[in-house]
Amino acid sequence: SAVISQKPSRDICQRGTSLTIQCQVDSQVTMMFWYRQQPGQSLTLIATANQGSEATYESGFVIDKFPISRPNLTFSTLTVSNMSPEDSSIYLCSAGEYEQFFGPGTRLTVL
């Protein structure tokens, strides 16, 4: 099974600023996925990150707001840009071909 870590685990940010979330996998993976979980809600897929190509975004999510990097097969970052209180959520990354594993999440609060 893959072990996935995320940094930071939580943060409190001011509106208008940006936060970059890091996701590290302990083995090489082809695809990594980013999800958002708003308070009291289920998980929603933001984008799929494939190493060496642009991320593929789901409807309602755009690259200018959520730029993603995938510099190698074990690492990815998600930036939440120009934040507003509506961006307060838990952001999770995952990876895995058969059994998909998740990181512990980043709890973001925007004031």
Partner 1 sequence: DAKTTQPPSMDCAEGRAANLPCNHSTISGNEYVYWYRQIHSQGPQYIIHGLKNNETNEMASLIITEDRKSSTLILPHATLRDTAVYYCIVRVEGNTPLVFGKGTRLSVIA
* CB-nearer residue toward partner 1: 5 or 17: 5
Of residues 31, 51, 57, 81, which one binds partner 1 by CB under 8 A?
31
Quote the least distance from Cβ 16 to partner 1, whole Å.
27
> Mask of contacts with partner 1, 63-92, x by CB under 8 A?
---------------------------x-x
Distance in angstroms (rounded) separating the CA atoms of residues 30 and 10: 27
H-assigned helices in 2-85:
none
Q: Please, are residues 21 and 80 in contact by the beta-carbon 8 Å criterion?
A: yes
Q: Please, are residues 110 and 15 in contact by the beta-carbon 8 Å criterion?
A: yes
Distance in angstroms (rounded) separating the CA atoms of residues 25 and 4: 5
Interface with partner 1, residue 27, by CB under 8 A: no
Distance in angstroms (rounded) separating the CA atoms of residues 32 and 54: 12
Of residues 22, 24, 48, 51, which one binds partner 1 by CB under 8 A?
48
- Which of the ranges 14-22, 44-52, 62-70, 79-87 carries the binding residues for partner 1, by CB under 8 A? 44-52
Strand partners, 42: none
Interface with partner 1, residue 100, by CB under 8 A: yes
